[in-house]
């Protein structure tokens, strides 16, 4: 049976915080930059994220999905996140995109997320790999974890 791996988008696959801070710097009057048209679609990928997703997808033991929470300040984020996935990971991954405000409702083996609480991460039934933490500071550490655990 394949191991289900969920990947968060914001600050795991794409650089949300960097874009948010830059938008505030450029226009401090905008309280919610993420509510601006095309904010999510224009996000840059996190270093090594795209190649790491490809690596995980190539392993026959993993079933990889994207599990991201919506920005309720921008109803367009649902479409923009979907377009970002197609732009950067291809149309096939669009069929593996789940947008949910509560990640704890999803059943799986792994959740790679930059937060450990706030969107149901603390109720996730599998193992949380806390991206950006001392144990998993970047994608290379995530891939090393899977390589060691599953002898890839």
Catalytic residue annotation: 8, 10
Instruction: Please name the residues in contact with 72: beta carbons below 8 A apart, sequence gap of 6 or more.
Output: 101
Rounded distance, CA 43 to CA 33, Å?
A: 12
Q: Is 6 helix (H, G, I), strand (E, B) or coil?
A: strand
- Rg of the chain taking only CA atoms, in angstroms: 15
């Amino acid at each position: 049976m394949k191991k289900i791996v969920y990947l968060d988008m914001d600050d795991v696959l794409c650089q949300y915080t960097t874009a948010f801070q830059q938008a505030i710097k450029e226009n401090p009057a905008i309280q919610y930059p993420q509510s601006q048209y095309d904010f999510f679609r224009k996000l840059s990928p996190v270093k090594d994220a795209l190649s790491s997703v490809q690596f995980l997808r190539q392993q026959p033991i993993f079933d990889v999905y994207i599990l991201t929470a919506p920005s309720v300040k921008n109803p367009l984020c649902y479409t923009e996140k979907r377009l970002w996935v197609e732009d950067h990971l291809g149309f096939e991954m669009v069929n593996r995109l789940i947008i949910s405000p509560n990640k704890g409702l999803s059943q799986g083996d792994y959740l790679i997320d930059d937060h450990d609480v706030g969107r149901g991460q603390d109720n996730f039934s599998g193992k949380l790999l806390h991206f950006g933490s001392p144990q998993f500071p970047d994608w290379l550490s995530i891939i090393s974890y899977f390589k060691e655990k599953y002898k890839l």
